[in-house]
Chains A and B, each alone.
Chain A
Amino acid sequence: MTSLLALSPLILVCATAIVVMLTIAWRRCYDLTATLTVIGLNLALAAQLLAWWQAPLDVTSLMTVDGLSIFGGVLILVATLACATLGHAYLEGARGPREEYYLLLLCAAAGGIALVSSRHLASLFFSLELLSMPLYGMLAYTYRERGALEAGIKYMVLSAAASAFLLFGMALLYARTGHLDFAGLGGALASAGGDGWLLAGIGMMLIGLGFKLSIVPFHLWTPDVYEGSPAPAATFLASASKVAVLIVLLRLLQSAPVTQDAWFHSLLAVLAFVTMLAGNLLALMQQDLKRLLGYSSIAHFGYLLVALVINEGLAVETAGIYLVTYVLTTLGAFGVVTLLSSPYGGADASRLHHYRGLFWRRPYLTAVLTVMMLSLAGIPLTAGFIGKFYIVAVGVEASRWWLVGGVVAGSAIGLFYYLRVMVTLFLPEPGMQRRDATTDWAQRAGGVVVLALAALVVLLGVYPAPMIDWIRLMAAT
């Protein structure tokens, strides 16, 4: 019974998926489907509290429910809720079937929640696939759009290749150690030392996960997929999917102390360094907001890798804080793009010139996007600053000066393109034809979500103590 309670969020999400599927089969009703989805997700979110009372608890040898998994679950559910709400406005005008979007979304969310609680390579692989498969469909959901189809197929092919790497790595690890659960694997790795096959196995797993996190040099898919896919799907990809993978990577690194191996450690450090610099440099001259956000997310995962590389002292707390700020900010930024592209009608309004002079037409929506850009750049008064502060702190604490240097340099470069976006919003517009949000955007669910996110970002930037306490509580369990 306790096990069931501990897994109740996952069960609820899966149950919602089934209910939604049956509802669609019974009668196609767009609003009903959306409402059911949102209710199910909210129930699952509330059920995280039930799970919290049972934690920490190992549920079978595949899953565990602890602070980390609940933390990840909450973030994923919040992100999914935002994507569902934003998707509702976005798909309203779409032709063809619209209800299946929620089905895919729920399945992906279930995969994410399972992923953050896996403690076994089998459940890791299984839930990673459950997370990725629906995403193929979501990314190509508006398949009449050339870009979306391209995005879906590109993601599918590369993701399959990454999965192959992941499997190969797991097989190598299993062949050498005879373990598939994280704890056993960690013990075996610690005793085996720097065996070549083991390192190869871990390296391949890292490739597989690094692809999902779009770490340089496995990042090539990111900008294209972000640009082409429909905005709500890209939002999910950028937030929930990445959170889940990062948390499982964190769990893997913590239970299997491979990072103690000097060679591997420095490899990760180099990857972090390259990722933050490359992401920022490549974003400099982008003309498309979604593409720019894609590169910026690469850079942000470079910063996050710094915390994973150091993996001591403040590192877990840092990763948690940064994930929260990153998710809120990304949801907000993509949310604005989604609102401007809603209802769906052809390619998304994501070119920078679509945003020219937005301030003089939609001041509040612009304020939201400005806050998000400032937060991504890590400027005080926004949550992003707290995240940046933590990353620098963790680097200084461990005296990893060149990683700190990378963060500083990356942030300085990053400012340039965030400012470019910001100033575009405020420039007086020439009389060009443009895309606009519906006039009552603020009264609609999507608008409310976006405004709430902006308020939250500012609030956490000014008074981050509750967030810090919560994450410390989660990390301690």
Chain B
Amino acid sequence: MILVCLILIPFIGGLLCWQAERFGEQPPRWIALGTMLLELALVLGVWWHGDYGLNSAQGASDWVLEWRAAWIPRFGIEVHLALDGLSLIMIALTGLLGVLAVVCSWHEISRRIGFFHLNLLWILGGVVGVFLAIDLFLFFFFWEMMLVPMYFLIALWGHSGSTGNTRIQAATKFFIYTQASGLLMLVAILGLVFAHHAATGEYSFSYEALRHTAQNELSPQMAWWLMLGFFIAFAVKMPVVPLHGWLPDAHAQAPTAGSVDLAGILLKTAAYGMLRFALPLFPEASQAFAPVAMGLGILGIFYGAILACGQHDLKRLVAYSSISHMGFVLIGIYSGTELALQGVVVLMVAHAFSASGLFIISGQLYERLHTRDMRLMGGLWGRIKGLPGIALCFVAASMGIPGTANFVGEFLVLFGTFDTWPWVVVVASGGFVLAAIYSLFIMQRVYFGPAKEDTPLGGLDGREIVMMLGLLALVLWVGLYPGPLLDTSEAAMQNVEHIMTLEETPAMPEETP
């Protein structure tokens, strides 16, 4: 039942915020903050009480918590929620970033506050649903549903670029990319369901039943196509390079809270989807697809990093760096070793922290300077108290300096991949050089160099300091002591590895680049 609460809390909180607007500006903010804190507290409580070291030898899924109820009996669709270590980490991350998103938009959003928080909380509710649903219909339901409030968030509270309507264009682009690719996933899900129907005579969207079908009943060719349907949907959201077109625009135009949500958790739903669905459902096809995925990952790393170097808009730069980081995630996922998969989890968390940190900093700079163009900045080190130092830390984290969470994640990914794909690791490591370049660009262009003006700008207030230092503490904590995180996700990741290696039959020619 607690799983249902986890999903419902943000939705109900959102409705309350909407209605609370009539009482003034502050109530919606406080209600939203309270809602997300409650959510976070619940997740941490679940974390504290559950035992995530469980592991089964068969690669079957062990759920720590499970809840199911019939929904649409006609197709055997259930409201089937389940939680394991991976989903727990992701939901905790959602709760945390939800709090951050509410706090960081405290002053930024001044119009239609209630409706803003309704959208914000509904996104978070949808994301929690994605992380908990293991009925494929339900998963798809949440997957598509969370796009609508995100669309509104960008379209209504976004920053308009120079040419007027760009935030609406960005929002529309985001929506069409993700929605159309989602439909491909729906087709793939239905293909799987009807294959199951042909084999057993029953309709079911249940994860276990379909996994069984996918591994035993599908012809390899069919499995390949269905896998591709899932992969494209996740790849768009991740984003993998040829399908990334929506991301820089969406980030650049979104309000800070939108960017935090987008980078922090929406992108992670894609990686989660691959770990939870694409790989376990189609292990053989995924194995066969791995070379392509690796290639796309490397392409993403370099493409994102190189384009990040050339950006003038701070948020676009961070957006492109996200593409680069997600390349590492993709490589880690498809290498299929436990070490790399664990690295993926840490990297996802780390990237959520560092990217949201950088987006929040861009937001704070924007509040003070009313621009995000780095050509108009420079020399801010002496003009803003506190912010440059914190920014330096987050830039270092994004660069992957040892001691930060990103380092642990990237290191584990590369280390785990090296055994099977040494050349990929060698090439991908080159991405670090570029990461250093664009990260230092940020510091150099924004904070050093000649100052444009001498007037001091407002320093950080208490809210901002608490928020940034808290985030920073988490980055360092995960970087220095990732043990608890790794323990929690260990069983889930071992399962994924198990599924991947189990299917590595000798009959299948192993393609290595």
Chain A residues near B256: list those with CB within 8 A.
none
What separation, in Å, do the CA atoms of A313 and B38 have in the docked complex? Answer: 47
Judged by a CB distance under 8 angstroms, whether B155 is at the interface is yes
Q: Are A468 and B74 in contact (CB under 8 A)?
A: yes
Judged by a CB distance under 8 angstroms, whether B467 is at the interface is no
Q: Are A412 and B176 in contact (CB under 8 A)?
A: yes
State the main secondary structure of chain A at its contact with B: helix
Q: Are B194 and A396 in contact (CB under 8 A)?
A: yes
Judged by a CB distance under 8 angstroms, whether A381 is at the interface is yes
Chain A residues near B142: list those with CB within 8 A.
380
Binary flags per residue of A389-429, CB closer than 8 Å to B gives 1, else 0 = 10011001100000010001001100110011001001000
How close is A385's CB to chain B, nearest CB, in angstroms?
8
Judged by a CB distance under 8 angstroms, whether A465 is at the interface is yes
- Our count of residue pairs bridging A and B at CB distance below 8 angstroms stands at 74
Q: Are B155 and A423 in contact (CB under 8 A)?
A: yes
What separation, in Å, do the CA atoms of A404 and B187 have in the docked complex? Answer: 8
Judged by a CB distance under 8 angstroms, whether B374 is at the interface is no
What separation, in Å, do the CA atoms of A380 and B143 have in the docked complex? Answer: 9
What separation, in Å, do the CA atoms of A374 and B152 have in the docked complex? Answer: 13
Binary flags per residue of B127-146, CB closer than 8 Å to A gives 1, else 0 = 00000000000001110110
Judged by a CB distance under 8 angstroms, whether B168 is at the interface is yes
Chain B residues near A393: list those with CB within 8 A.
190, 193-194
Output the nearest chain A residue to B172 by Cβ-Cβ distance: A419
How close is A16's CB to chain B, nearest CB, in angstroms?
36
Q: Are B184 and A465 in contact (CB under 8 A)?
A: no
Q: Are A416 and B74 in contact (CB under 8 A)?
A: no
Judged by a CB distance under 8 angstroms, whether B148 is at the interface is yes
The residue from B140, B176, B179, B190 contacting A396, defined by CB atoms under 8 A apart: B190
Judged by a CB distance under 8 angstroms, whether A464 is at the interface is yes
Q: Are A416 and B186 in contact (CB under 8 A)?
A: no
Q: Are B148 and A379 in contact (CB under 8 A)?
A: yes
Q: Are A381 and B145 in contact (CB under 8 A)?
A: yes
Given A392-B183, A411-B180: A379 in contact with B190 (beta carbons within 8 A): no
The residue from A379, A389, A415 contacting B180, defined by CB atoms under 8 A apart: A415
Which residues of A in the span 279-306 have a Cβ within 8 Å of any Cβ on B? Answer: none
Given A379-B145, A426-B152, A469-B74: A419 in contact with B175 (beta carbons within 8 A): yes
Chain B residues near A385: list those with CB within 8 A.
141, 144
Q: Are A415 and B74 in contact (CB under 8 A)?
A: no
What separation, in Å, do the CA atoms of A420 and B176 have in the docked complex? Answer: 12
Q: Are B183 and A411 in contact (CB under 8 A)?
A: yes
Chain B residues near A408: list those with CB within 8 A.
180, 183-184, 187
Q: Are A465 and B74 in contact (CB under 8 A)?
A: yes
Chain B residues near A415: list those with CB within 8 A.
172, 175-176, 179-180
What separation, in Å, do the CA atoms of A411 and B181 have in the docked complex? Answer: 11
How close is A117's CB to chain B, nearest CB, in angstroms?
27
Given A392-B190, A396-B190, A397-B194: A464 in contact with B72 (beta carbons within 8 A): yes
What separation, in Å, do the CA atoms of A223 and B145 have in the docked complex? Answer: 31
What separation, in Å, do the CA atoms of A393 and B192 have in the docked complex? Answer: 11
Chain A residues near B73: list those with CB within 8 A.
465
Judged by a CB distance under 8 angstroms, whether A351 is at the interface is no
Chain B residues near A380: list those with CB within 8 A.
140-142, 144-145
What separation, in Å, do the CA atoms of A316 and B175 have in the docked complex? Answer: 32
Given A379-B148, A426-B152: A392 in contact with B186 (beta carbons within 8 A): yes
The residue from A412, A420, A472 contacting B74, defined by CB atoms under 8 A apart: A472
The residue from A374, A396, A416, A472 contacting B187, defined by CB atoms under 8 A apart: A396
Judged by a CB distance under 8 angstroms, whether B151 is at the interface is yes
What separation, in Å, do the CA atoms of A246 and B71 have in the docked complex? Answer: 30
Judged by a CB distance under 8 angstroms, whether B59 is at the interface is no
A interface, how many residues as a size bin? 20 to 34
Chain A residues near B172: list those with CB within 8 A.
415-416, 419-420, 423
Chain B residues near A396: list those with CB within 8 A.
187, 190-191, 194
Judged by a CB distance under 8 angstroms, whether B399 is at the interface is no
How close is B167's CB to chain A, nearest CB, in angstroms?
10
What separation, in Å, do the CA atoms of A475 and B19 have in the docked complex? Answer: 43
State the main secondary structure of chain B at its contact with A: helix
The residue from A412, A426, A464 contacting B183, defined by CB atoms under 8 A apart: A412
What separation, in Å, do the CA atoms of A33 and B183 have in the docked complex? Answer: 48
Binary flags per residue of A145-169, CB closer than 8 Å to B gives 1, else 0 = 0000000000000000000000000
Judged by a CB distance under 8 angstroms, whether B171 is at the interface is yes
Given A374-B148, A416-B176: A423 in contact with B168 (beta carbons within 8 A): yes
Judged by a CB distance under 8 angstroms, whether B296 is at the interface is no
What separation, in Å, do the CA atoms of A374 and B175 have in the docked complex? Answer: 12
Q: Are A468 and B176 in contact (CB under 8 A)?
A: no
How close is B493's CB to chain A, nearest CB, in angstroms?
30
Q: Are A468 and B187 in contact (CB under 8 A)?
A: no
Binary flags per residue of A453-464, CB closer than 8 Å to B gives 1, else 0 = 000000000011
What separation, in Å, do the CA atoms of A472 and B73 have in the docked complex? Answer: 12
Output the nearest chain B residue to A321 by Cβ-Cβ distance: B74
Chain B residues near A412: list those with CB within 8 A.
176, 179-180, 183
Residue from B74, B184, B191, B193 whose CB has the most chain A CB atoms within 10 Å: B74
Chain B residues near A464: list those with CB within 8 A.
72
How close is B54's CB to chain A, nearest CB, in angstroms?
32
Which residues of B in the span 243-277 have a Cβ within 8 Å of any Cβ on A? Answer: none
How close is A296's CB to chain B, nearest CB, in angstroms?
16
Q: Are A379 and B72 in contact (CB under 8 A)?
A: no
Q: Are A468 and B72 in contact (CB under 8 A)?
A: yes
Output the nearest chain A residue to B176 by Cβ-Cβ distance: A415
Chain A residues near B218: list those with CB within 8 A.
none
What separation, in Å, do the CA atoms of A416 and B142 have in the docked complex? Answer: 21
The residue from B141, B151, B191 contacting A419, defined by CB atoms under 8 A apart: B151
Output the nearest chain A residue to B192 by Cβ-Cβ distance: A396
Chain B residues near A404: list those with CB within 8 A.
187
What separation, in Å, do the CA atoms of A420 and B151 have in the docked complex? Answer: 12
Binary flags per residue of B157-196, CB closer than 8 Å to A gives 1, else 0 = 0000000000010011001100110011011001101100
How close is B90's CB to chain A, nearest CB, in angstroms?
20
What separation, in Å, do the CA atoms of A380 and B142 have in the docked complex? Answer: 8
How close is B160's CB to chain A, nearest CB, in angstroms?
11
Output the nearest chain B residue to A374 by Cβ-Cβ distance: B148
How close is A362's CB to chain B, nearest CB, in angstroms?
14
Judged by a CB distance under 8 angstroms, whether B384 is at the interface is no
How close is A256's CB to chain B, nearest CB, in angstroms?
28
How close is B432's CB to chain A, nearest CB, in angstroms?
37
Judged by a CB distance under 8 angstroms, whether B440 is at the interface is no
Residue from A381, A420, A468 whose CB has the most chain B CB atoms within 10 Å: A381
What separation, in Å, do the CA atoms of A465 and B172 have in the docked complex? Answer: 32
Residue from B142, B172, B183, B197 whose CB has the most chain A CB atoms within 10 Å: B183
Judged by a CB distance under 8 angstroms, whether B156 is at the interface is yes
Binary flags per residue of A351-389, CB closer than 8 Å to B gives 1, else 0 = 000000000000000000000001000011100010001
Q: Are A389 and B155 in contact (CB under 8 A)?
A: no
How close is B455's CB to chain A, nearest CB, in angstroms?
32
Output the nearest chain A residue to B72 by Cβ-Cβ distance: A465
What separation, in Å, do the CA atoms of A385 and B138 have in the docked complex? Answer: 12
Binary flags per residue of B66-108, CB closer than 8 Å to A gives 1, else 0 = 0000011110000000000000000000000000000000000
Q: Which 10 A-B pairs have the closest CB atoms?
A: A412-B180, A396-B190, A380-B145, A408-B183, A380-B141, A468-B74, A380-B144, A423-B155, A397-B194, A393-B190
A-B contact pairs, 13 of them (CB 8 A): A379-B145, A379-B147, A385-B141, A393-B194, A396-B190, A397-B194, A408-B187, A412-B180, A423-B168, A423-B171, A423-B172, A468-B72, A468-B74
Beyond the given pairs A419-B171, A423-B156, A468-B74, 18 more chain A to chain B contacts, judged by CB atoms under 8 angstroms and listed by A's residue number, are: A379-B145, A379-B147, A380-B140, A381-B141, A389-B186, A392-B183, A392-B190, A393-B190, A396-B190, A397-B194, A412-B180, A415-B175, A415-B180, A419-B151, A419-B172, A420-B172, A465-B71, A469-B74
Residues of B that sit less than 8 Å from A by CB: 71-74, 140-142, 144-145, 147-148, 151-152, 155-156, 168, 171-172, 175-176, 179-180, 183-184, 186-187, 190-191, 193-194, 197
Residues of A that sit less than 8 Å from B by CB: 374, 379-381, 385, 389, 392-393, 396-397, 404, 408, 411-412, 415-416, 419-420, 423, 426, 463-465, 468-469, 472
